[in-house]
Chain A
Amino acid sequence: MKRLLPFLLLALGLALPFILTAMGQEYYISFASRVLVVALAASALNLILGYGGLVSFGHAAYFGAGAYTAALLAGKGAGLPAQLLVGTGVAALLAFVFGWAALRTRGVYFIMITLALAQMLYYLAVSSDSLGGEDGLRISRAALWGDLTLGDDRAMYYTALTALTLGLFVIWRVVHSRFGEVVQAARDNETRTAALGYPVRRYQLVNFVIGGALAGLAGVLMTQISGFTNPSLLSWQQSGQFMMMVILGGVGTFWAGLLGTAVLLGLEEYLGEVTERWPLFVGLILLGVMLFAPKGLGSLGTLFGRKKKEVVE
């Protein structure tokens, strides 16, 4: 079952636009694209926070950096490949610089520094005319081939699905590699990991950069979904939302990003239609999850199917 899960999810992902169309709910295709892209950014945070044990409270910086880079490039007439490549690269570079600075500290100081650095970027975007200030930047959707652009809901959806699938595959390989083993070891016992001969900070920084790059990739696609970018993508609320998603899904479990994003955005969407006071109910539900499933929604599955111990080889 566990082995089949990725393929079942992928099959569901591929079929979803057809299902929604058959149900006459095409409106939700665009919503689903948003879930996929945000899930990619949340999964990237899960790599840093869940597997790396580093509470980065500035994840929006890399997401937003990807988005703004893409919007600036789009304004200059660059196509999708260039936007993806440069957007991801800029986010990676930014994560390297921010991570390098933040990793000189630990614990609550690390949280505050990642937050402060991200806020700097937010205020830069708000106050810069060339970045559109409060209004942000509008773009025209990138062309895929022929007349097909990402303005088409289905084209956008499958692009997002491809990105998420590739992103999750990368994360899976990284987590299960030699490198991933050291990163998780440093999370569980930093001192011992250094005593085993691993320069811990170097591993954490590289991991931080991988997470930042994937968030940047998600940011590029987010711009394509909404057709614009604005400072809210860089805001601390956005960072907080990524964290909520990861925690909701189950910190350090593989599907945390996707699960947390689907549930949180789903709740917002559904409750938003029912009541104006939806944030209150989202909050209550979050509280309930934290009280009754503190390891996240992903742990509910193992509650029933427990307790298979992991055996090497």
Chain B
Amino acid sequence: MAGIQSQSALVAENLCKNFGALAATQNVNLRVEGKGVHALIGPNGAGKTTLVNLLSGALPPSSGRVLLSGQDVSRVDMPGRVARGLSRTYQITSIYPEWTVWRNLALSVQGRSGTSMRFWQPVTGERALYRQAAEIAEEVGLTSRLNAPASDLSHGERKQLDVALALASNPKFLLMDEPMAGLGHEESVRMVDLIRRIAGIRAVLLIEHDMDAVFSLANEVSVLVYGQIIASGTPEAIKNDPEVQRAYLGDDHAA
């Protein structure tokens, strides 16, 4: 890992996180870069969400480093990492339910378009903000729901909104924590399509239980078990890795 850092990579270096006696993350080395989907799979309780929290800055690591485009950001908070091009979605959708979809998105666009320490001009007068928000809604397929309160959205639409909020900062790296969880078949198909488009121009770290989705999207797959990465490679290599089959795919696929 001491070699030349790619100018555009999200790197975990010997990352560890302990909660008391529990080692939720153990010596994780991970590299997400360029374009496309890097999938992170693993059984329940493997520490996938903890890893996302470490990478996004929601949690400080116990040891090890997180590098963002060559810079050590281990002690940089979440907003600081967003400013450096990293964004995330949430397993349990995290939106503003009382607000309209449009207002949700305008807030997220506001974050990337100049300072928000502006106290006097009414925000609703900023046409550009709402226009860009509408563009993002179109990207994720929420145009017809712009004026609906977010609490009126279906589960699938909320997931779309959650992704849209993360996209608004125009990140180079996007961490997606189980975007397919709880979606129906049709919604899943739409989400896979959306992720493919997102990954066309940025690096996505995708955490997902839906193996069909994972293997149809990913260029690279890493397998996390008990906080450790036990294998990393192309989807084909992972499918055929005996250790992975034993630790993970065997049980889950049979079900």
Contacts and interface: CB of A to CB of B under 8 A. Distances in A.
Contacts of A203: 116-117
A311 B147 contact: yes
Contact of A312 (B94, B119, B147): B147
A206 B119 CA distance: 10
A174 interface: yes
Interface in A184-242: 185, 188-189, 191-192, 194-200, 203, 206, 210
Contact of B77 (A181, A199, A311): A199
Interface string B91-105: 000111111101100
Contacts of A37: none
B147 A194 contact: no
B218 to A, nearest CB: 24
B88 A173 contact: no
Given A310-B100, A312-B100, A195 B78 contact: yes
B144 interface: no
A3 interface: no
Contact of B82 (A174, A196, A311): A196
A195 B87 contact: yes
Q: How large is the interface on B (under 10, 10 to 19, 20 to 34, 35 or more residues)?
A: 35 or more
A176 interface: yes
Interface residues of A, number: 29
B32 interface: no
A176 B110 CA distance: 14
Closest 8 CB pairs of A and B: A197-B82, A192-B94, A197-B111, A178-B118, A178-B116, A199-B79, A194-B78, A312-B102
Interface of A: 173-174, 176-182, 185, 188-189, 191-192, 194-200, 203, 206, 210, 309-313
Interface of B: 56, 58, 77-80, 82-83, 87-88, 90, 94-100, 102-103, 106-108, 110-112, 115-124, 126, 130, 146-147, 149, 165-166, 168-169
Given A177-B119, A194-B77, A196-B111, 18 more contacts: A176-B124, A178-B116, A182-B116, A185-B107, A189-B96, A192-B96, A194-B78, A194-B79, A196-B165, A197-B82, A197-B112, A203-B116, A309-B100, A312-B100, A312-B103, A312-B147, A313-B102, A313-B124
